[in-house]
Structure 1
Amino acid sequence: MDPDRVLDGLDPEQLEAARALRGPVCILAGAGTGKTRAITHRIAHAVASGVATEQQILAVTFTVRAAGEMRGRLRALGAPRVQARTFHSAALRQLSFFWPQVIGGPLPTLIDSKIQVVARAAHSCALQPDRAGLRDLAGEIEWAKVTQTRPADYESAIAKAGRTPPMPAHDVARVFEAYEDIRRDRNLLDFESMLELTAAMLAEHQQIADRVRDQYRYFVVDEFQDVNPLQKLLLDAWLGDRDDVCVVGDPSQTIYSFNGATPGYLTGFSAAYPHATVVRLVRDYRSTPQVVRVANLALKSAPGTAAQRLELVAQRPDGPEPTYTEYDDEPAEATSVARKIAALIDSGTPAREIAVLFRTNSQAAAYEQALADAGVAFAVRGATRFFERAEIKQAVHTLRGARQGAADDPLAATVHHILAPLGLTPEPPEGRQARERWESLAALAQLAEDVAAARPGATMDDFVAELDARVATEHAPEFEGVTLASLHSAKGLEWDAVFLAGLTEGMLPIVYAETDDQVEEERRLFYVGVTRAREYLAMSWSLARSPGGRKTRKPSRFLDGLRPASPSLASSRRDRKQAKVVRCRICGNTLIEAAERKLSRCLDCPADYDEALLERLKAWRRATAEEQKVPAYVVFTDATLQAVAEHVPGSVSQLSRISGVGAVKLERYGEAVLALCAGRDPGPGDPADGSDEGEPDDR
């Protein structure tokens, strides 16, 4: 491999980083500046120059997906044997190898989730927290463990950290201690204990430390701003007294301090290693100058020294100006965002290149409903990685087992048939969790169709091989739909168009961000959201939760200095359109939830719909969705069909008054729906011109 050819195509700062072959090296890399490109070329250059062999290099990052991407790039650069792993993967590999020598006996069972063990521990302490409380307790135990806090020291540690516990601190400490007792008694290993045991093994057994340090002599650590004290302890154990380490990160993207991460190791790297080489990557290749300007301004008023912030320099051509829109209430905001997304898709932007980002997962429901009403497919991105979801593990296992006896039918049809018993129905079920499971299975089915299209004649063996490769690199299949995601789960991703929604005080910054440090972490979260956008960035907020509610909300302080001092009320009002107050036609109460407003009644008020008509509508929807190859909710949601069955419209005018039946859906499906309501089979010739002759005035 020619060392100079490895450096082809790098910009001056990336080139400086790639040529800094000996550590310590600190690469401060802003969003979209090509940090993965810089560090993989640096590694390949080190191998080509003879500075290190592939087997001596350990590149560490935080996600399986990022590690897989790094391995793929290194293979393309001629360095396929470099170890690119997560902290946990590298630690587990070493701990498993040396376990018989150090401890002996069976290796502990690794637990993916603490919830069940935490529940047993809480029960043993005569505490009965609910599911949310158990999650909070598990998170608090994780924080304590990564910060090397013992149960006996927990109360004083959180007081020093200014941390608010999910329950009285002494109760958390009791549950923490009981959790550790249960874990040890049952020979269980959590992720934090895995790192701790590996670091302890290296500290206490010099012979093992020498073997590991002889194996790995050249270290690269990505996303260094997210390192917590426990991970730093393990890294120091790997390094020993050496300093051949390259760290990469961006202090402005530290958003996991609540989990124990600290940017201090990155910002303090030059103090720890006064002879370190420091390179700053500031050329932003991801976003337009308009988006980059917002990103830079978002951090300008943040406290701290300017030396710790990276002023991004846009490299792309101009794009549209970011927009700022105020709405009267949340339903109006969600409806408008969905309408804008539909317009973007109609103008040629792929749905998979659009995202709606928000601070908390609870905000997703309004956008799910609004997008479904607009006929736009979507997928909710959660914290669980795709191939770690229970339904996907089960599906992959089933597909692997089915390849032996697979018939010679077309690949896509075979995969659909195999996944059907697992929940891949022709149309998605109602309910968020059920629909997320369905979407996961639908993504696998779509992958089978993509493989068959790319490789005609592909077999189940080919498909399973593709799956295995994706599992290894955490390369999830794409779902052709708009992404709905929290700001935390969006980190590391990017889209052509990003809608940052719900930007109000109390939501961003979140209401429980009380200290200056906590508020600044919220500001960095906003910065991460802004820098996910390549071209189109829309920011919005609403003054009230529900139509007719008190307009007491204020736009996020992070918008100060970004949006016009006095927003153009003409354009803002044009977009924001207050949703009218809707009352239950049975009990008269004000309706807030989207499904209730669609039905014009409370969900628990008695329904008066034609059940036979509803079944005919659902059967028609299923056939239409199959024909158009879209999820059934993209045609109409269950709530919309139920509203149709309750109102039984007799004309286009009456049908258009039903929430969820917009102009596009009226044009596409109006004839068929009206035919079904009239007791006829849908077919050609049904009027769609909206003639209202003889229609009673039912206003």
Structure 2
Amino acid sequence: MTSSAAPASDGPVEGLTEEQLLAAGSRSDAVFIEAGPGTGKTSVSAHRFAAHRFDPAGDPSRAVVAVSFTRAATSTLKRRVQRLWGPAALTPPHRIVTLDTLIGDLLHDLLRDGIIEWPNGHSELDVHDSWSTFSGSTFNRTAYRLSLAGNRVQVEQGWVRKARPAIPATGIVPRLLSGICTHDDVRVVLEAAIKVDEFAAYVRDRLCQRLRALIVDEVFDANDLDLAIIEMAMEAGIATTFVGDPWQALYVFRGARPEAVRELVARRSVRVLPLTRSFRWTTEEQRSLAEELRAGRPGVIPALAAAEVSGCDAVLALNWKPLWELSESVLPFAFQSFRGTHEEAAATLVLSHVTRTVFGTDATYLREALTSLAITDDQVLPSLRPAMQVIMDVLSTAHARAPIEAYELLRAALRGVSPRVLRNPHPAHTGRLRLIQQRLVGSAQLIPGLTTHQAKGQEWDLVGFRLTEEQVRILAGGLDPTEEEHRKLYVGATRARAATRILH
């Protein structure tokens, strides 16, 4: 990708490059905007949304909808659209939502019109992010399964061979029968429904009635169901835009298949409009590194000793653990991939208070922690701030018992706002608070630590990249975008504006 100064203006249309103007204003009904790091993907998506939204030939009764896969991504795009085009851009029926929201709407349509039936006749479902809202994980062998028999949703309870940490199905099944479910359950049922020709035709018809344009952000994070809905929209004659970068597809763990996007683009003869001009790089060193990696050529990144990490603006790694092990100057935004125990959730509230105080940003899994603790009232977090500040003050001392004292204060603070009961102090529970203590006591200036997943879409001037020797060898051998670990390395190595440094 070539480097250049950023456009002179951030107002509507003015300041866009020729590439960006072509992508934003293309009259093609099916467009794939391939946008690498720093090429203005969000701005182009916002302009593309507005081009459809304010098209005088557009049917005012049908919506222009943009979707992405996380609430953070949709919020970012929504803010950009409103800043560039004003609140009128998002007056109903036009909206920017998660793809889960669109999928949930389609299932509710099927239920309300009696096309399919939920147990006990429920047509309005109470959809949650996770079953952790209702219960914590335990080691158990119970399991449940949703299926479609004819037009009826079936709920079955069964067993798995080996116990594992999971929400007990004995508590889930009664809730499913009462019309409570998760987004994953919605997806399971809709995926089964669109395999039936009659139901698929109904979904296509509903998409056609409601939408005139669909913009899909970060399309390479799409799984098979996502892509099926997108293709159904195309079949329904809806103007469809994909935006994304195959080099930055990181959500294989949720079923993303980057190769399937390419297949869809080829199968539907989608017009490809690349954005090649990056405005991120401020040095020749970083520009050259990004271009070499994207070309599949060896990438050489200078090393930086862990003792010199204080010079970095952010530190990245492929997982959370190496960040905690690197230096007490690095404050990671999570302890690990969230597992859902109540003690981990409680410690995450403390971590989030610290990251909010130090960096002005919540911890990564704050929402999941609140769900695990069954905290749904938006006013609970503000009410907890004084208690969290006392806990932070306790952890700012070097006293050996500070994590235990902080844990007891945490247990007391949660008694009045959460039905969950934290277990008695134990190193497994207080250890997370000890990690926070080490940072508060040991470093005058803390540096944010994130995984490549969390760093995607962000940028800093100088980025430290914590890598294993094997990962350094992969970089030196050239990256392949079809390999998941290679894509993670590419994302991490392209977050810096000025320079990336490997931390040993």
TM-score, normalised on structure 2? 0.65
Paired with 1:519 and 1:236, the residues of 2 have a C-alpha distance of 22
1:110 aligns with 2:116: no
Q: Which residue of the partner structure matches residue 450 of structure 2? A: 485
Per the alignment, in what secondary structure is the counterpart of residue 457 of structure 2?
coil
Aligned counterpart for 2:499 among listed residues 536, 561, 568 = 536
Paired with 1:484 and 1:377, the residues of 2 have a C-alpha distance of 12
1:324 aligns with 2:303: yes
Taking a change above 3 Å as real, the CA distance of residues 92 and 36 of structure 1, as seen in their structure-2 partners, is same
Shift of 1:120: 6.6
Shift of 1:527: 0.9
1:56 aligns with 2:35: no
Q: Deviations over 1:292-317 (max 9, x none)?
A: 211222243379xxxxxxxxxxxxxx
Per the alignment, in what secondary structure is the counterpart of residue 193 of structure 1?
helix
Structure 1 counterpart of 2:142, one-letter code: S
Paired with 2:227 and 2:490, the residues of 1 have a C-alpha distance of 26
Q: Which residue of the partner structure matches residue 80 of structure 1? A: 90
- State whether residues 65 and 214 of structure 2, in contact with CA within 8 Å, keep that contact through their aligned partners in structure 1: yes
Q: Which residue of the partner structure matches residue 627 of structure 1? A: none
Per the alignment, in what secondary structure is the counterpart of residue 220 of structure 1?
strand
Per the alignment, in what secondary structure is the counterpart of residue 489 of structure 1?
helix
Shift of 1:91: 2.2
Per the alignment, in what secondary structure is the counterpart of residue 454 of structure 2?
coil
Shift of 1:170: 6.7
Structure 1 counterpart of 2:272, one-letter code: V
Shift of 1:189: 2.1
Q: Deviations over 1:563-594 (max 9, x none)?
A: xxxxxxxxxxxxxxxxxxxxxxxxxxxxxxxx
Q: Deviations over 1:371-413 (max 9, x none)?
A: 58xxx956997542559745896683247xxxxxxxxxxxxxx
Paired with 1:381 and 1:360, the residues of 2 have a C-alpha distance of 18
- State whether residues 224 and 247 of structure 1, in contact with CA within 8 Å, keep that contact through their aligned partners in structure 2: yes
Shift of 1:61: 0.8
- Give the fraction of aligned pairs with identical amino acids, expressed as a percent: 23
Per the alignment, in what secondary structure is the counterpart of residue 52 of structure 1?
coil
Taking a change above 3 Å as real, the CA distance of residues 300 and 431 of structure 1, as seen in their structure-2 partners, is farther
Per the alignment, in what secondary structure is the counterpart of residue 90 of structure 1?
helix
Superposition pairs for residues 36-55 of structure 1, below 5 Å?
Answer: 36-53=42-59, 55=62
- State whether residues 381 and 484 of structure 1, in contact with CA within 8 Å, keep that contact through their aligned partners in structure 2: no
Q: Which residue of the partner structure matches residue 369 of structure 1? A: 328
1:420 aligns with 2:402: no
Taking a change above 3 Å as real, the CA distance of residues 387 and 8 of structure 1, as seen in their structure-2 partners, is farther
1:124 aligns with 2:131: no
Structure 1 counterpart of 2:241, one-letter code: C
Taking a change above 3 Å as real, the CA distance of residues 519 and 268 of structure 1, as seen in their structure-2 partners, is closer
Q: Which residue of the partner structure matches residue 337 of structure 1? A: 309
Q: Deviations over 1:483-542 (max 9, x none)?
A: 1111222112222221112342279979xxxxx98992111111101111122322122x
Structure 2 counterpart of 1:88, one-letter code: D
Per the alignment, in what secondary structure is the counterpart of residue 92 of structure 1?
helix
Taking a change above 3 Å as real, the CA distance of residues 30 and 526 of structure 1, as seen in their structure-2 partners, is same
Aligned counterpart for 2:460 among listed residues 474, 495, 502 = 495
Structure with the higher strand share, 1 or 2? 2
Shift of 1:87: 0.7
Taking a change above 3 Å as real, the CA distance of residues 370 and 431 of structure 1, as seen in their structure-2 partners, is farther
Structure 2 counterpart of 1:77, one-letter code: W
Q: Which residue of the partner structure matches residue 346 of structure 1? A: none
Paired with 2:112 and 2:318, the residues of 1 have a C-alpha distance of 46
Aligned counterpart for 1:278 among listed residues 244, 249, 272 = 272
Taking a change above 3 Å as real, the CA distance of residues 287 and 518 of structure 1, as seen in their structure-2 partners, is closer
Q: Which residue of the partner structure matches residue 526 of structure 1? A: 489
Per the alignment, in what secondary structure is the counterpart of residue 396 of structure 1?
coil
Q: Which residue of the partner structure matches residue 311 of structure 1? A: none
Shift of 1:337: 1.2
Q: Which residue of the partner structure matches residue 183 of structure 2? A: 191
Report which stretch shifted further, 381-390 or 265-274. Answer: 381-390
Q: Which residue of the partner structure matches residue 379 of structure 2? A: 397
Aligned counterpart for 1:9 among listed residues 9, 15, 37 = 15
Q: Deviations over 1:340-374 (max 9, x none)?
A: 34xxxxxxxxxxxx2111121112323462458xx
Taking a change above 3 Å as real, the CA distance of residues 170 and 107 of structure 1, as seen in their structure-2 partners, is same
1:224 aligns with 2:219: yes
Paired with 2:290 and 2:469, the residues of 1 have a C-alpha distance of 18
Paired with 2:162 and 2:392, the residues of 1 have a C-alpha distance of 48
Q: Deviations over 1:99-132 (max 9, x none)?
A: 343333264443433568895794338xxxxxxx
- State whether residues 28 and 278 of structure 1, in contact with CA within 8 Å, keep that contact through their aligned partners in structure 2: yes
Per the alignment, in what secondary structure is the counterpart of residue 255 of structure 1?
coil
Taking a change above 3 Å as real, the CA distance of residues 426 and 253 of structure 1, as seen in their structure-2 partners, is closer
Taking a change above 3 Å as real, the CA distance of residues 392 and 295 of structure 1, as seen in their structure-2 partners, is farther
Paired with 1:184 and 1:392, the residues of 2 have a C-alpha distance of 18
Q: Which residue of the partner structure matches residue 248 of structure 2? A: 253
Q: Which residue of the partner structure matches residue 365 of structure 2? A: 384
- State whether residues 29 and 238 of structure 2, in contact with CA within 8 Å, keep that contact through their aligned partners in structure 1: yes
Per the alignment, in what secondary structure is the counterpart of residue 29 of structure 2?
coil
Taking a change above 3 Å as real, the CA distance of residues 197 and 426 of structure 1, as seen in their structure-2 partners, is closer
Structure 1 counterpart of 2:469, one-letter code: T
Taking a change above 3 Å as real, the CA distance of residues 262 and 418 of structure 1, as seen in their structure-2 partners, is closer
Provide the alpha-carbon RMSD of the alignment. 4.6
Shift of 1:250: 0.6
Structure 1 counterpart of 2:365, one-letter code: T
Paired with 1:49 and 1:185, the residues of 2 have a C-alpha distance of 45
Shift of 1:41: 0.9
Shift of 1:15: 0.9
Q: Which residue of the partner structure matches residue 260 of structure 2? A: 265
Taking a change above 3 Å as real, the CA distance of residues 49 and 519 of structure 1, as seen in their structure-2 partners, is closer
Taking a change above 3 Å as real, the CA distance of residues 422 and 536 of structure 1, as seen in their structure-2 partners, is same
Taking a change above 3 Å as real, the CA distance of residues 182 and 323 of structure 1, as seen in their structure-2 partners, is farther
Q: Which residue of the partner structure matches residue 440 of structure 2? A: none
Q: Which residue of the partner structure matches residue 153 of structure 1? A: none
Paired with 2:368 and 2:140, the residues of 1 have a C-alpha distance of 30
Structure 2 counterpart of 1:360, one-letter code: N
Per the alignment, in what secondary structure is the counterpart of residue 124 of structure 1?
strand
- State whether residues 324 and 330 of structure 2, in contact with CA within 8 Å, keep that contact through their aligned partners in structure 1: no
Aligned counterpart for 1:292 among listed residues 282, 287, 291 = 287
- State whether residues 381 and 483 of structure 1, in contact with CA within 8 Å, keep that contact through their aligned partners in structure 2: no
Taking a change above 3 Å as real, the CA distance of residues 170 and 425 of structure 1, as seen in their structure-2 partners, is closer
Per the alignment, in what secondary structure is the counterpart of residue 369 of structure 1?
coil
Q: Deviations over 1:159-207 (max 9, x none)?
A: xxxxxxxxxx97599x999799677556542322213434556752755
Paired with 2:289 and 2:66, the residues of 1 have a C-alpha distance of 33
Shift of 1:228: 0.6
Q: Which residue of the partner structure matches residue 3 of structure 2? A: none
- State whether residues 299 and 523 of structure 1, in contact with CA within 8 Å, keep that contact through their aligned partners in structure 2: no
Paired with 1:11 and 1:420, the residues of 2 have a C-alpha distance of 49
Which ranges in structure 1 are unaligned for 5 or more consecutive residues?
A: 126-137, 143-168, 304-320, 328-332, 342-353, 400-414, 442-479, 511-515, 542-699
- State whether residues 315 and 449 of structure 2, in contact with CA within 8 Å, keep that contact through their aligned partners in structure 1: yes
Q: Which residue of the partner structure matches residue 68 of structure 1? A: 75
Structure 2 counterpart of 1:236, one-letter code: E
TM-score, normalised on structure 1? 0.48
Q: Which residue of the partner structure matches residue 32 of structure 1? A: 38
Paired with 2:394 and 2:51, the residues of 1 have a C-alpha distance of 50
Which ranges in structure 2 are unaligned for 5 or more consecutive residues?
A: 1-10, 147-159, 332-356, 396-401, 414-444
Taking a change above 3 Å as real, the CA distance of residues 526 and 508 of structure 1, as seen in their structure-2 partners, is farther
Report which stretch shifted further, 379-388 or 259-268. Answer: 379-388
Q: Which residue of the partner structure matches residue 357 of structure 1? A: 316
Shift of 1:239: 4.1
Shift of 1:232: 1.4
